[in-house]
Amino acid sequence: MKYSDGANWEEGQQAFRYGAFYLFPPPGIIEAIDRLRQQYDPISSAICQAHISLSQPLSAPPTDQQLDELRRLLSSTDPFEIHYGPLRSFPPYPGVAYGIEPQDRFMELRALVQSVALFASVPPAEQEVAAHITVAEFITVEETDKLLAELQGNVPEGTYPCDAVEYAMPNDAFCFQRVLSLPLGRV
């Protein structure tokens, strides 16, 4: 894997140099969510496809041994169904996102992923953020209320299988690319 030196990135983007782990909706679902993101948050949608953030950013490239440890743990974790929707906000932060259920299974998966040696030197999150798929961020509270009213009941919702964790990292243009898929359960 080739990691960018981040020479063209903004200061806050440097923390993501070595990427992070995510859950991406499957083909047939991700496209509709990506269209919403392109329409209502073109800047964020250009950085990464629709996703659920699973881990903190890595502080160093993962080693083969660390990835093997994670693979072993994930192979003993059963796949599960993710329900996305309805749209909501997450006060006090403005923005519109798909709510994700079941939160407990997501939090268990997050804890499992971040329990491996790969995260030993990564500071824990300041607060646990509920699982969500962002549609629009960096908007005002007023824009949030307006967008929720406009979109509520007019966007796809549904369920899809969560059967893999994906490692994604930014390229030189700070656009995240999926580079590794780690299946849940025995394959």
Residue 134 lies in a domain: yes
For the chain, the domain total comes to: 1
What digits encode the pLDDT tens for the residues 99-149?
A: 999 999 999 999 999 999 888 877 766 667 789 999 999 899 999 999 999
Q: Are 162 and 83 in contact (CB under 8 A)?
A: no
Residue 1 lies in a domain: no
In this prediction, residue 187 has a pLDDT band, given cuts at 50, 70 and 90, of: low
Domain extent, residue 76, equals 19-183
Which distant-in-sequence residues (6+ apart) come within 8 Å of 28 by Cβ?
none
Tell whether the torsion through CA atoms of 174, 66, 114 and 180 is positive or negative.
positive
Residue 3 lies in a domain: no
Distance CA 54, CA 181 (A): 13
Confidence (pLDDT) at 6: 84
Tell me the average pLDDT across 175-180: 96
Confidence (pLDDT) at 128: 73
Residue 124 lies in a domain: yes
Residue 5 lies in a domain: no
Confidence (pLDDT) at 125: 67
Confidence (pLDDT) at 92: 83
Residue 99 lies in a domain: yes
Residue 75 lies in a domain: yes
Q: What is the CATH number of the domain that holds 136?
A: 3.90.1140.10
What digits encode the pLDDT tens for the residues 58-94?
A: 999 999 999 999 999 999 999 999 999 999 998 888 9
Beta bridge partners of 93: 90
